[in-house]
A and B are shown apart, each in its own frame.
Chain A
């Protein structure tokens, strides 16, 4: 177990594993995502209440889901950074933060466009959309702080502290935004969480979520590899790797 943990901390070992994993992640991710999306777009039955606009769900829910779970993963990595000083964990945080931000933006965008036929306006200060917007701000904060501190070690730990402070706040933010929402407007038509979703709807949804997860894994591996190349460029194995063109 400890040996595994040590190995996991080794950039060289991780680089090799990532190279071997990435084709599978990419192919599996694209296949699952496309299957889910095509199924959802063309074959899933029409929703009796919202008509065809509900088909946005097949990308809205995966992006929203990923956006939230990426922040949780970053928090776990932040703990690892602070407790074990593992460099790869910090690399994970700064590699995936932009991915999280893009997916959060996509969740917001698809939610807003979905809102137009459903609510009649592009933007509504709905509890879910609002907490998503705040999550986007949290991502921006992490990215900005990661870029602002030059020293690698203190940058890693400062970002980790910020991510952890953010993750403590997320439930509080969610709760308070929901309360604020009930205070200012009666419960509106909810986008997701239909109580009775037939299998023809949730199976493609699940496929799309899994597919996007795999693509995220691929992106994380790729971006972490880039980070390793930059950080370890003085080591012999990276120079060897660069000379042979990455094989």
Chain B
């Protein structure tokens, strides 16, 4: 009964403005983070400070920094993202917006995607933009810096997406922050490996397009699966409170 089912099953786009709802979520989150400027700045400052620790703590030698620079920048970016994840749902959870969001007719999957996008725009993207500067400070070569920024550009959204699952699972728990890191860091390892590995391969003169493509595959996989898991986790956390 094709005609019947076409009546009953509402296509995704025919919902009351799915795109409009997503844009509204992104705009609202962006506005909220620009009002709370400190939240916006803190991960960035953390990123810079962690990178600064390595020349001070290990060695300022050019050869060491050149070799370890990519790893340092990637690990610092990873930790900075981790630090910011707690804010992803926390404010909305506290003021009840999250509850309203879950009652919306639009699929929660897409609304979460919008929230993660907003989160990435205010944390991941600034990290990527700041990376060349720090790359110069750790004596990376021009080509390496380019590849590093590219891997960060593909990798940080994956970090935000995977992190959203952990943030949703630990929502409303007292020791949420540390627990969140504990749950999420193992899941970040593949992204870290391929992010730094691609730059290392490029430095050795190997072709990197295959690795970049693989990271792109990570991003696609995270885009399709992570919001689902996040939505499930959010529903569980909300039913708890």
Indicate if A touches B (C-beta under 8 A).
yes
**Could you list which residues of chain A lie within 8 angstroms of chain B, going by C-beta atoms?**
82, 134, 137-138, 140-141, 144-145, 148-149, 151, 153-154, 157-158, 161-162, 164-166, 168-169, 172-173, 175-177, 179-180, 183
Do B237 and A154 have beta carbons less than 8 Å apart? yes
Chain A CB within 8 A of B229 CB = yes
Do A161 and B197 have beta carbons less than 8 Å apart? no
Do A148 and B173 have beta carbons less than 8 Å apart? yes
Known: A137-B185, A144-B183, A148-B173. A161 touches B190 (CB 8 A): no
Complex Cα distance A153/B229, Å?
17
Complex Cα distance A166/B201, Å?
28
CB distance from A189 to the nearest CB of B (A): 22
13 contacts between A and B (CB under 8 A): A134-B186, A137-B182, A141-B183, A141-B186, A144-B182, A158-B237, A161-B229, A162-B183, A165-B229, A169-B186, A175-B190, A176-B194, A177-B189
What are the interface flags for B164-188 relative to A under an 8 Å C-beta threshold, 1 for contact and 0 otherwise? 0100011001010001001101110
When distances are taken between beta carbons in the complex, the residues of chain A under 8 Å from B237 are: 154, 158
Known: A148-B175, A179-B193, A183-B197. A161 touches B186 (CB 8 A): no
When distances are taken between beta carbons in the complex, the residues of chain A under 8 Å from B225 are: 168
Complex Cα distance A165/B218, Å?
14
CB distance from A85 to the nearest CB of B (A): 12
Complex Cα distance A169/B166, Å?
14
When distances are taken between beta carbons in the complex, the residues of chain B under 8 Å from A183 are: 197, 200-201
**Of B182, B189, B201, B229, the contact of A176 (CB 8 Å cutoff):** B189
When distances are taken between beta carbons in the complex, the residues of chain B under 8 Å from A179 are: 193-194, 197
Known: A148-B179, A183-B201. A169 touches B236 (CB 8 A): no
Complex Cα distance A158/B170, Å?
9
Known: A134-B189, A168-B225. 12 other contacts (CB 8 A): A134-B186, A141-B182, A144-B182, A149-B173, A161-B169, A161-B236, A166-B187, A169-B190, A173-B189, A176-B194, A179-B194, A179-B197
Known: A134-B189, A162-B169, A173-B186. A154 touches B240 (CB 8 A): yes
Complex Cα distance A173/B186, Å?
9
**Could you list which residues of chain B lie within 8 angstroms of chain A, going by C-beta atoms?**
165, 169-170, 173, 175, 179, 182-183, 185-187, 189-190, 193-194, 197, 200-201, 218, 225, 229, 232-233, 236-237, 239-240
Chain B residue nearest to A142 (CB atoms) is: B183
Most chain A CB neighbours (cut-off 10 Å) among B165, B175, B189: B189
CB distance from A135 to the nearest CB of B (A): 8
Complex Cα distance A172/B175, Å?
29
Complex Cα distance A145/B182, Å?
9
Do B187 and A169 have beta carbons less than 8 Å apart? yes
Do B170 and A161 have beta carbons less than 8 Å apart? no
Do B233 and A161 have beta carbons less than 8 Å apart? yes
Do A164 and B193 have beta carbons less than 8 Å apart? no
Chain B residue nearest to A150 (CB atoms) is: B240
**Of B182, B197, B200, B233, the contact of A158 (CB 8 Å cutoff):** B233
Complex Cα distance A165/B225, Å?
9
Do A180 and B197 have beta carbons less than 8 Å apart? yes
Complex Cα distance A186/B200, Å?
15
Do A173 and B169 have beta carbons less than 8 Å apart? no
Known: A141-B183, A149-B173, A169-B190. A154 touches B239 (CB 8 A): yes
Do A161 and B165 have beta carbons less than 8 Å apart? yes
Known: A144-B183, A148-B170, A148-B179. A154 touches B236 (CB 8 A): yes
Complex Cα distance A82/B232, Å?
10
When distances are taken between beta carbons in the complex, the residues of chain A under 8 Å from B233 are: 158, 161
CB distance from A130 to the nearest CB of B (A): 9
Most chain A CB neighbours (cut-off 10 Å) among B182, B183, B200: B183
Ranked 6 nearest A-B pairs via Cβ: A154-B240, A176-B190, A137-B186, A141-B183, A176-B193, A180-B193
When distances are taken between beta carbons in the complex, the residues of chain B under 8 Å from A166 are: 186-187
When distances are taken between beta carbons in the complex, the residues of chain B under 8 Å from A173 are: 186, 189-190
Chain A residue nearest to B174 (CB atoms) is: A148
Complex Cα distance A168/B185, Å?
15
Do A138 and B186 have beta carbons less than 8 Å apart? yes
Most chain A CB neighbours (cut-off 10 Å) among B190, B200, B225: B190
When distances are taken between beta carbons in the complex, the residues of chain A under 8 Å from B239 are: 153-154
When distances are taken between beta carbons in the complex, the residues of chain B under 8 Å from A164 are: 229
When distances are taken between beta carbons in the complex, the residues of chain B under 8 Å from A177 are: 189, 193
When distances are taken between beta carbons in the complex, the residues of chain A under 8 Å from B169 are: 145, 158, 161-162
When distances are taken between beta carbons in the complex, the residues of chain A under 8 Å from B190 are: 169, 172-173, 175-176
